Amino acid sequence: MLQLVLLALLAAANTFHFGKVRFEPVDTIAYQADGSTIVALTSFKIDRPAVIAAIDAGNALYAQSADGGNFVLVRIIGPDKCGVGGFLGATMQSIDLGSFPAKTTASTATRIAGECWVNKPGKMFDDEYDFHLSYDVPITAIPKPTTLTAGGGEPGKQYLALVKAIQSNDWNVAHDRLRSDEVPQDKPKAAAMKDYFESVSLNYPKSATVAGGLMKGDRARLDIKGIDHDGKKIKGVVALKKTGDVWRVMDQNLFFDQ
């Protein structure tokens, strides 16, 4: 009887619970991705212009959750089925819970409305979860990025110039292309310049090629391969943002290429 009461209360709410995290969404945005409608429900106010400008809307939401925010992504699989995943900034967990029952009450090119829920509390490893999510929102039009071929166009050219500049201790080329938190407020003295670039070089390939990528407005994402400072093969993705005529690195995810 108690479980029925709890489930009834859950069904009446708009809540999400996973492990130690529990929140009621305060903002919602819907968009199209990979041929499906995605509904993002968040514990924080969404910066919509940033999501629209981003190459990947999910990555934009991830960036906005940096201060402990949480978001759930509901993928509309069909009129009566949904997929649920997301990121919990409070516990730094990426989750993919699988598919669940859904009820779609409106689905057009401009609007999505419905519900997605779990019939009974579930468990993933040591974390219990339950949720009942409802939404009725317009679908935000997000422009698609253009494809960059091998070399990466202008963003790729500038990234490779940065890699070379780091190896040759070229402050003039490097300082406005490095990630902003890698650039000191004052230019290093001549005696300290080599040590500075040796430290920065640990974050970058020793040499690299750009296989291709994506670009949208002042944002670019490059797929690269290269050799790291220890001579090991690496590959990964580099995100850049353009200011004026300069493409600055915003983030990198580099991995060993076996």
46-58: pLDDT as tens digits: 999 999 999 999 9
222 phi and psi angles, rounded to 5 deg: -105, 140
The whole-chain average pLDDT of the chain stands at 94
Pick left, alpha or beta for residue 220 (phi over 0 → left; psi -120 to 50 → alpha; otherwise beta): beta
Per DSSP bridges, beta strands 15-18 and 21-23 are antiparallel
Q: Residue range 29-39: average pLDDT? A: 96
Residue 216 CA: distances (Å) to CA of 52, 148, 155, 207: 10, 10, 11, 26
Q: What is the pLDDT of residue 119?
A: 94
Give strand pairing partners of 101.
Answer: 81
pLDDT exceeds 60 at position 41: yes
pLDDT at 12 over 70: no
Q: Which CATH number fits domain 146-256: 3.30.1310.10, 1.10.760.10, 3.10.450.50, 3.40.50.300?
A: 3.10.450.50
Q: How many other CB atoms are there within 10 angstroms of residue 108's CB atom?
A: 9
Per-residue pLDDT, 98: 97
Say whether pLDDT at 147 is over 80.
Answer: yes
The answer to which of 66-70, 106-110, 151-155 has the lowest mean pLDDT is: 66-70
Domain boundaries, the chain: 2-138, 146-256
* CA 123/CA 101 separation, integer angstroms: 17
DSSP state of 149: -
pTM attached to this predicted model = 0.84
**Nearest by Cα to 103 from 141, 136, 69:** 136
**pLDDT on residue 66:** 80
- 65-82 pLDDT tens trace: 988 999 999 999 999 999
Evaluate if residue 8 carries a pLDDT over 90. Answer: no
Question: What pLDDT band is residue 206 in, cutting at 50, 70 and 90?
Answer: very high
